[in-house]
Amino acid sequence: MPELPEVEVTRLSFASRIAGAEVVSVRMGLPLRWPLGCSPDALVGRRVAGVRRRGKYLLVDLVQPGGLLLVHLGMSGSLVFAAGLPAPGRHDHFDLHTTAGQLRLHDPRRFGAVVYAASEADPVAKKLLGRLGPEPLTDAFDLAVFRAALKGKRTAIKQVLLAGELVVGVGNIYASESLFLAGIRPTTPAMRLTGPRVARLHGAIRQVLANALSQGGSTLRDFSSADGQTGYFQLTAMVYDRAGEPCRVCTQPIRSLRQGQRSTFYCASCQKP
């Protein structure tokens, strides 16, 4: 699944090019996870004011009149933005034709979504965005608040991170990597973490996500940005998807387990309960 770094890399790859463009037409393919929420023709003639990100959602702001499109890449989705794209294939489910180029959502598994909302106060937008935690690479991700919130969580720390309520966008890859960097076993109950360990985790989350952004995100299967670039963070991953391989720090074999139907990777020597 594209996580926060991949979504931000995608945004950066086309946001400046589509800003100011006018919507010429909209094509809908097979149904996605949620309906668009308006007639495609209702978007024609509007201009793209800009593209923001909230967690794993891209927010395409529209003007004349207002509104926004909330775009989620789901499990396997990707966006491409270019002029003169070829005819859509069976996995191309949304095309936003603009005067600057064509934005296309490609999603083989159709877990992605493009949803229209009149504003962020719209019930549709509030349902999708309202419970998201603070952005990890901003000042909103406050250490004291994070520490206090963890004290009330009996759940395993990795599951708390994936839930997205205390900090948004730390998906499966980067949760495993952050916990390794902080030296914390993924199964440790969140409430058992001491102040110093929480501080290390807080810093590790920021460091891992910043590193992933600088490396274009992770391309495990088919992720690429809207201009076709792949990421290479996975080449330097310390534990993710390395079960049985030697730890890059202590040489002990990396272990794996299942948590909430997701694969977790960790080093039993470097990461303490």
Q: Is 62 left (phi over 0), alpha (psi -120 to 50) or beta?
A: beta
Note whether 18 and 98 are within 8 A (CB).
yes
Note whether 101 and 83 are within 8 A (CB).
yes
Is the pLDDT at 227 greater than 80, yes or no? no
The class of domain 143-266 in CATH terms is mainly alpha
- The one-letter code for the residue type at 166 is L
Summarised one tens digit per residue, pLDDT across range 127-138 is: 999 999 999 999
Q: Tell me how far apart the alpha carbons of residues 134 and 24 are, in angstroms, rounded to a whole number.
A: 35
Catalytic residue chosen out of the listed positions 27, 52, 206, 262:
262
The verdict on whether 108 is a catalytic residue reads: no
Q: Tell me how far apart the alpha carbons of residues 234 and 220 are, in angstroms, rounded to a whole number.
A: 7
Note whether 118 and 62 are within 8 A (CB).
no
Q: Tell me how far apart the alpha carbons of residues 73 and 6 are, in angstroms, rounded to a whole number.
A: 10
pLDDT level of residue 75 (50, 70, 90 thresholds): confident
* 142: nearest Cα among 151, 150, 152, 134: 134
Q: End-to-end CA distance of the chain, in Å?
A: 27
Which pLDDT belongs to residue 103? 98
Q: Tell me how far apart the alpha carbons of residues 7 and 212 are, in angstroms, rounded to a whole number.
A: 11
Catalytic residue chosen out of the listed positions 11, 56, 110, 255:
56
The verdict on whether 2 is a catalytic residue reads: yes
The verdict on whether 3 is a catalytic residue reads: yes
25 token code pair: 């037409």
What is the chain's length? 273
Sheet holding 68-72, edge to edge: 47-54, 57-63, 68-72, 113-117
- Give the residue-averaged pLDDT of 58-76: 95
CB atoms within 10 A of CB 183: 15
The verdict on whether 56 is a catalytic residue reads: yes
> H helices within the chain, ranges in order?
4-18, 123-129, 143-150, 157-163, 172-182, 195-214
Which pLDDT belongs to residue 268? 98
Specify the higher pLDDT residue, 21 or 216.
Answer: 21
Catalytic residue chosen out of the listed positions 2, 5, 108, 134:
2
Ranges of each domain in the chain: 4-129, 143-266
Is the pLDDT at 207 greater than 70, yes or no? yes
Which pLDDT belongs to residue 76? 86
Q: Tell me how far apart the alpha carbons of residues 272 and 163 are, in angstroms, rounded to a whole number.
A: 22
Catalytic residue chosen out of the listed positions 3, 8, 135, 177:
3
The class of domain 4-129 in CATH terms is alpha beta
* 96: nearest Cα among 31, 47, 35: 47
* 71: nearest Cα among 92, 90, 51: 51
Of the candidate ranges 2-6, 41-45, 57-61, the one whose mean pLDDT is the lowest = 2-6
